């Protein structure tokens, strides 16, 4: 994707943050377009939170710089803070205030008149399904506190919204509610930076994704581009009882032309082979007919599925995103 200078709202240049011997962020460079939903996908500890804390001026980089809404994170903290909303990974609320009081307080900090703040708070809390709660927010469930945090980040209509693991700890219903609201935000000309380790979340919501591992960006593109470049159309996931049976299948794989690649994955006691191939169900039948798995009794489990971002990460790093 080519981007003119006018369309770039965040530009990161060789950004680094080292904590003694730990290179939390190690030379990240990215351009993020105004109005897009850009996800930074990676496992816990990959550097996502450190990166967002530098972009929001909480942390000073060891070296490098970034421009957020035209201002350097080294010199333009006051201007940047006015333009951004942040929903941090760790829930940050005022526990002795009620839900609407939390949102109204943040609105007041940004100079929003009291009546307008009340109206905005009511609308946001209704959107997130927590309007009308009169108890202190410290009594809310983790999921409700997470949704309240989102409302607090949005009340002053930021130009850029940073979401660091926004659905962490949510039950499936609340998670879908937050996803729907994030999709709605995409229609409001707000730029959203989503930090996540959830492949489904990134795939479902993102216009573009950068995959980060050990503090470095190892791939970027649209979800479709990433899956086409680093994955395959389909994946056959086969788990075996004995290692020798898996080894035999690996020998047979080499003879099959439409197999793109394969990975051996160990998880607990399960010995699993992930076989990426082209051609859909037609070639799946061929895989089985050509004697890929000679003794079905030795198979513990078999699953056929579409290629995912988990497979992209596995092919890039040799391990699963959640390992």
Tell which residue, 256, 261, 257, has the closest CA to residue 312: 261
The helix or strand, by DSSP H or E, that contains position 255, with its residue range, turns out to be none
Instruction: Look up residue 55 and give its two tokens.
Output: 């972009």
Distance in angstroms (rounded) separating the CA atoms of residues 87 and 144: 14
The whole model's pTM is what? 0.81
For the chain, what percent of residues have pLDDT higher than 90?
A: 38
Reported as a single tens digit per residue, the pLDDT across 11-43 is 999 999 999 889 999 999 999 999 999 999 999
pLDDT at 247: 82
Assess whether pLDDT exceeds 50 at residue 182.
Answer: yes
Tell me what the mean pLDDT of segment 188-212 comes to. 93
Q: What are the start and end residues of each CATH 3.30.70.920 domain in the chain?
A: 232-306
The mean predicted confidence, pLDDT, of the chain is 86
Which CATH number is correct for 5-222, 3.40.50.720, 3.90.1300.10, 3.40.50.300, 3.50.50.60?
3.40.50.300
Q: Give the DSSP letter of residue 131.
A: T
Exposure pattern of 153-182 as b/e (b: 16+ CB <10 Å)? bbbbebbbbbbbbbbbebeeebbebbbebb
Band of pLDDT at residue 2, cut at 50, 70 and 90: very low
Which CATH number is correct for 232-306, 2.40.10.10, 3.90.1150.10, 3.30.70.920, 3.40.50.1000?
3.30.70.920
**Higher-confidence residue: 141 or 78?**
78
Tell me what the mean pLDDT of segment 209-225 comes to. 95
Assess whether pLDDT exceeds 50 at residue 152.
Answer: yes
Reported as a single tens digit per residue, the pLDDT across 256-284 is 888 877 888 776 667 888 888 877 777 77
For the chain, what percent of residues have pLDDT higher than 70?
A: 93
Tell me what the mean pLDDT of segment 296-301 comes to. 73
Reported as a single tens digit per residue, the pLDDT across 223-248 is 989 988 887 678 888 888 788 878 87
> Residues 282, 283, 286, 291: is their CA dihedral positive or negative?
negative
Tell me what the mean pLDDT of segment 155-167 comes to. 90
**Higher-confidence residue: 5 or 155?**
155
Strands (E), 77-177: 84-87, 160-164
Instruction: Look up residue 257 and give its two tokens.
Output: 């032309």
Distance in angstroms (rounded) separating the CA atoms of residues 183 and 174: 14
Q: What are the start and end residues of each CATH 3.40.50.300 domain in the chain?
A: 5-222
């Amino acid at each position: 994707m080519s981007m003119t200078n006018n369309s770039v709202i965040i530009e990161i240049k060789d950004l680094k943050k080292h904590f003694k011997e730990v290179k939390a962020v190690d030379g990240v460079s990215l351009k993020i377009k105004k109005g897009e939903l850009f996800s930074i996908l990676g496992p816990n500890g990959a550097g996502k939170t450190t990166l967002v804390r530098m972009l929001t001026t909480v942390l000073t980089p060891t070296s490098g710089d970034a421009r957020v809404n035209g201002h350097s994170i080294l010199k333009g903290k006051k201007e940047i803070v006015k333009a951004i909303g942040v929903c941090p990974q760790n829930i940050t609320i005022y526990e002795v205030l009620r839900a609407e009081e939390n949102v109204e307080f943040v609105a007041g900090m940004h100079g929003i008149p009291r009546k307008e703040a009340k109206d905005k708070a009511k609308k946001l809390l209704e959107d997130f399904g927590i309007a009308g709660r009169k108890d202190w927010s410290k009594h809310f469930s983790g999921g409700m506190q997470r949704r309240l945090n989102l409302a607090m980040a949005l009340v002053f209509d930021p130009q850029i919204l940073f979401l660091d693991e926004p659905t962490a700890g949510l039950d499936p219903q609340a998670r879908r509610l937050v996803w729907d609201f994030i999709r709605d935000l995409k229609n409001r000309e707000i730029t959203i930076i989503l930090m996540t380790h959830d492949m489904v979340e990134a795939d479902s919501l993102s216009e573009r994704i950068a995959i980060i591992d050990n503090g470095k960006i190892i791939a970027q593109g649209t979800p479709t581009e990433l899956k086409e470049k680093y994955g395959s159309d389909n994946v056959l996931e086969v788990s075996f009882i004995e290692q020798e049976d898996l080894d035999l299948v690996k020998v047979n794989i080499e003879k099959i032309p439409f197999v793109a690649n394969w990975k051996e994955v160990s998880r607990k006691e399960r010995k699993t082979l992930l076989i990426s191939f082209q051609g859909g169900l037609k070639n799946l039948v061929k895989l089985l007919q050509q004697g890929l798995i000679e003794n079905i009794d030795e198979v513990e489990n078999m699953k056929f599925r579409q290629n995912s971002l988990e497979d992209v990460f596995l092919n890039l790093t040799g391990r699963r995103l959640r390992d």
